[in-house]
Structure 1
Amino acid sequence: MLDSLSREAKIILAATVGPFIHQGPGHLTDNLGVLLIAGAYLEYEYNRNFLYTFYLGVGYLAAWAPLSLGFTGAIGASGVTYGLTTWLLVHSISRPLEMAYNGAIDRRILHLAPVFFGLAKAREAAAILGMMAGADDVTHFFGAFVGLLLGIYFVLNYYDIQTPNL
């Protein structure tokens, strides 16, 4: 269905509901898997409002990035999943660092497990930088980048470290 649309219709679709629709079952399940894993971890550590705000903000910013570069746009939550995993990476690294700072090994060491999940997606995002060829690559990279910035901001606030108001 999406292939039969005109360029203008694809642009409107990507700009309005792009982060909420997917091109097939494989695309949907890939994104849902990451949303469940990363989203559940971050929802437990923060709260649902952060997750909703993050999804909408990163989803639309990542969807609009390729449009601003002249691509027809991308659909799906891939920008959000890349953003969530970079936020997950920042947070999951901060917990063992906090433990090391406190000088005691405790259950926070388990936060190293999500680090590997986050590193895998961060590695994919870094690889995209050298070969950005289409709207999906722009969406993935931009989502990861915005997720990294917001992740740092959220983590600093999580530890009550003063940050400039955005």
Structure 2
Amino acid sequence: MPADGNYSTLLSLRGWSDDSGGPAHELAFSQSRGLYYRSGTTTNGWSAWRRVLVENISGNVGIGIDVPQEKLSVNGNIRAKEIKVEAANWPDYVFTSDYELQSLKEVENYIKKYGHLPHVPKADEVDANGISLGEMNKILLQKIEELTLHLIEKDKRVTYLEERMLRLENHADK
């Protein structure tokens, strides 16, 4: 009987009855919608039941978690080759003519007052609630696009000042 205390339907897989084919494996499907696994041999004993996943009445699936709150809740690290996040309202609006880019002085004042960039969540909010990868990518792209606009503006200013300096030097040499 798995650790949740409920009776289960068992599926057992065994190489040979004398364990010469390796350890046996059992899956237990519990009444509480959990899937458990254990393995072992008659000579070495069985490992403890380990919950593999649980599904609640809402169809939420949990791995290593008792009460999944999302369609997939994982208590642990996840490794994947790729994760695709669907996102709307991608921040290309930063490049429209009606976008109000804050001046660097306004950004500096905001940072001094609040301790983080405008429109970026505070560290304690992220610690408490986590953050959506899609939302954070949108925020980061918005900030990169804003920085790009500031760099373009600064580059134009530097070019203007360099040209002006050359004109003044040329005028002074005459």
Higher relative helix content:
1
Compare relative contact order (CA 8 Å, sep 6+) and give the higher one, 1 or 2. 1
The alignment's TM-score, normalised by the length of structure 1, stands at: 0.27
Higher relative strand content:
2
The alignment's TM-score, normalised by the length of structure 2, stands at: 0.27
Greater radius of gyration (CA)? 2
